[in-house]
């Protein structure tokens, strides 16, 4: 007659198999009695946590949890024992040698034949790598949200500038061809600046490169009639955006009426950095034209370029500006505070 194993034997075999599986996937395993009190030694747990046998038997496994999470987990553990249900928690677990490491703690009740809890088995699994990956992901998401917010702000800002440029360009009774030419040139200047800003989203924009980009686009090459010089200066995106449009207006005016139009004209662009009254760095910029034969006459019509330099730059950059109509050409002076130096000037 074939002897069939009893239900008790099958249960013992199942429990033994479960323990073997747990031992393979867990860092450490420990047991408590039905009341949740540690009553036996757990060498693997002590090796993992550095917890002494006396502390383990006296204070229990919860004593190895990080102090910031210990109270909450002790509450969860007591509630689980009272209800007789398993718990699955994540916490920082002390490790041998000092410090804490993220672990997943899974604790289940083992029941007697009558369904009552006979004892509890717990196991810990290392989840440090997963937690670090989650942290990196959260930081990436935060940076992405910041970039999206900055992009939205930049788009709103540039649309406001475009509306302003358009409304000022179409003012006055001028041929539509002239209006279109001015508007197209200003839009091109804004577009070039946006390309520069997109290439250097985290760094500042080099002042000299910004100036040379505008001059080269207008066909103005280096030569004896052009002098550009000053220390390395990094601009914020707002400063670069505003100044690029001002440089476009100055260049356009010099090509049509000033030093870049006449053979004997000379253009000198220079800047220095100084300490302002408040202790901040201040940029002092000058655009000086010479050799223009026409008698200087202050224009009666205040165009977009003049309004930009006299009104917009002070409003947007806190700048002090001055435009002088001198014999031989105009002189434009712009002074404004610079950002703190951080070594992030983008010159490419």
Please give the domain boundaries of the chain with CATH numbers for all domains: 7-126 (3.30.450.20), 132-346 (3.30.565.10)
What pLDDT score does 89 carry? 92
The DSSP annotation for 90-122 comes to EEEEE-TTS-EEEEEEEEEEEE-TTS-EEEEEE
* 215, 269 contact by CB (below 8 A): no
Q: Hey, is 261 helix, strand or coil?
A: coil
Instruction: Identify the helix (H) or strand (E) that includes residue 234.
Output: strand 234-235
pLDDT tens, N- to C-terminus, the chain (348 residues): 444 555 555 445 445 444 444 444 457 888 899 999 988 878 888 888 888 888 888 888 999 999 999 999 999 999 999 999 999 999 999 988 888 999 999 999 999 988 899 999 988 888 888 888 988 998 988 888 887 887 777 777 777 777 767 776 777 666 777 777 777 878 787 778 777 777 766 568 889 989 998 898 888 888 888 999 999 998 988 888 889 989 988 998 888 888 888 888 899 999 999 887 777 889 999 999 998 886 555 554 557 788 888 888 998 899 999 999 888 888 999 999 987 764 444 444
Cα(338)–Cα(230) distance, integer angstroms: 14
Give Cβ neighbours of residue 10 (< 8 Å, ≥ 6 apart): none
* 165, 186 contact by CB (below 8 A): yes
Which of 32, 29, 21, 20 shows the shortest CA–CA distance to 125?
29
79-113 in b/e form (b: 16+ CB < 10 A) is ebbeeeeebebebbbbbeeeebbbbbbbbbbeeee
What pLDDT score does 189 carry? 79
* 16, 32 contact by CB (below 8 A): no
**Radius of gyration (Cα) for the chain, nearest Å?**
37
């Amino acid at each position: 007659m074939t002897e069939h194993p009893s239900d008790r034997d099958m249960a013992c075999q199942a429990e033994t198999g479960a323990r073997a599986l747990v031992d393979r996937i867990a860092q450490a395993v420990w047991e408590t009695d039905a009341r949740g009190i540690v009553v036996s030694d757990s060498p693997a747990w002590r090796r993992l946590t550095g917890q002494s046998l006396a502390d383990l038997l006296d204070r229990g496994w919860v004593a190895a949890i990080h102090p910031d999470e210990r109270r909450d987990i002790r509450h969860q553990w007591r509630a689980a024992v009272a209800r007789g249900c398993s718990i699955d928690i994540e916490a920082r677990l002390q490790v041998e040698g000092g410090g804490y490491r993220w672990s997943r703690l899974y604790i289940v009740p083992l029941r007697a034949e009558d369904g009552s809890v006979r004892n509890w088995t717990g196991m810990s699994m290392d989840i440090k790598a997963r937690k670090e990956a989650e942290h990196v992901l959260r930081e990436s998401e935060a940076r992405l949200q910041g970039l999206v917010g900055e992009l939205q702000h930049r788009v709103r800002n540039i649309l406001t500038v475009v509306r302003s440029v358009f409304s000022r360009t179409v003012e006055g009774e001028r041929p539509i061809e002239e209006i279109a030419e001015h508007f197209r040139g200003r839009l091109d200047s804004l577009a070039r600046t946006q390309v520069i800003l997109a290439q250097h989203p985290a760094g500042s924009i080099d002042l000299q490169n910004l100036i040379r980009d505008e001059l080269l686009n207008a066909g103005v090459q280096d030569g004896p009639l052009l002098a550009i010089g000053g220390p390395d200066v990094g601009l914020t995106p707002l400063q670069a955006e505003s100044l690029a449009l001002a440089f476009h207006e100055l260049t356009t005016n010099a090509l049509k009426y000033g030093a870049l139009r006449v053979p004997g004209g000379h253009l000198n662009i220079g800047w220095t950095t100084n300490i302002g009254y408040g202790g901040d760095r201040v940029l002092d910029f000058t655009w000086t034209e010479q050799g223009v034969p026409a008698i200087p006459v202050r224009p009666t019509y205040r165009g977009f370029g003049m309004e930009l330099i006299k009104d917009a730059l002070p409003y947007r950059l806190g700048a002090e500006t001055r435009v002088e109509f001198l014999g031989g050409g105009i002189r434009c002076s712009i002074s404004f505070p610079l950002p703190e130096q951080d070594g992030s000037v983008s010159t490419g």
